[in-house]
Structure 1
Amino acid sequence: MKARLFLSILITGIACAAWAQRAAEVKFERGNYGTMVSGTITGDEYFDYTLGAQSGQEMFADLKVSDTNGNGVIYFNILPPGSDGEAIYIGSINGNTARIELPEDGDYTIRVYLMGNDRDAGKTVGYNLDLSIQ
């Protein structure tokens, strides 16, 4: 009985975590090398933006807070193709502006997330993310 209850709680926890995650594919309009995306993140949610690129291209990403009911502690990581969470750029260490040469062909993920009190207290942060690949 206890094992079933634990399994039920574990499955519910996993399902709730999956609901908090959102994703979108980024496509540039014909003739453009970049775009801006906007959104909001609340608490422990994160938003994954994916875009295809080739080895040797340069990715630029710049994240700015547009509004917040907390401290505006928002960051992004850049994950390479096939990553299970390991990042090649970590915004909480390197800052919210990145310009990096991409090491391989494939789909890259830009994961936007909260940290600190904003995450722990379930605050909401609005943002604008400027992205380009050249």
Structure 2
Amino acid sequence: MRRFLIMSVLLTGLASAAWAQRVADVKFEPGDFGTMVSGTITGNEYFDYTLGAQAGQEMFADLKVSDTNGNGVIYFNILPPGSDGVAIYNGSIDGNTARIDLPEDGDYTIRVYLMGNDRDTDKTVGYNLDLSIQ
């Protein structure tokens, strides 16, 4: 029984590591108000990009598929500062181009993720995410 419990804990840890969240801070070059980031997402992974902004500024985000071994079903959500996962913009409902007025000061999170068959069958989707704050 003890051997089974240890194996279960190890396998659970490995599964969690395979679907680990990735995080990156987005910084603009001096004088710029935007940048493009690129990456890949596989299966249940998601990638969080954090970006500091002030209330009243406008955030623009546009997500495009660069390559895929599946259907390319990729989206992003925008989460306000301190969010526990609740989004102020949901790409799977509102589309992969957002232009929103930000309600408060702080670090916003742009979460890129897969849905549907691509997520469920561990497909990989490459993307380009254009971000700006004005």
TM normalised by structure 2 equals 0.90
Distance 1:13 1:87 in 2: 28
Distance 2:14 2:82 in 1: 22
- Deviation (angstroms), 1:8: 7.2
Q: Deviations over 1:31-87 (max 9, x none)?
A: 000000000000000000001000000000000000000000000000000001010
| Distance of aligned partners of 1:69 and 1:90 in 2 relative to their CA distance in 1, 3 Å threshold | same
1:17 partnered with 2:9? no
Distance 1:121 1:57 in 2: 38
Distance 1:102 1:14 in 2: 37
Partner amino acid for 1:96? N
Distance 2:43 2:65 in 1: 15
- Deviation (angstroms), 1:11: 7.8
| Distance of aligned partners of 1:10 and 1:101 in 2 relative to their CA distance in 1, 3 Å threshold | farther
TM normalised by structure 1 equals 0.90
Map of 1:133 onto structure 2 = 133
Distance 2:114 2:91 in 1: 11
Map of 1:51 onto structure 2 = 51
SS of the aligned residue for 1:93 comes to: helix
Unaligned runs of at least 5 residues, structure 2? none
Unaligned runs of at least 5 residues, structure 1? none
Distance 1:131 1:102 in 2: 14
Map of 1:65 onto structure 2 = 65
SS of the aligned residue for 2:117 comes to: helix
Distance 2:9 2:57 in 1: 42
Partner amino acid for 2:71? N
Partner amino acid for 1:67? D
- Deviation (angstroms), 1:88: 0.4
Partner amino acid for 1:55? A
| Distance of aligned partners of 1:70 and 1:51 in 2 relative to their CA distance in 1, 3 Å threshold | same
Distance 1:104 1:13 in 2: 38
SS of the aligned residue for 2:39 comes to: strand
Distance 2:70 2:120 in 1: 11
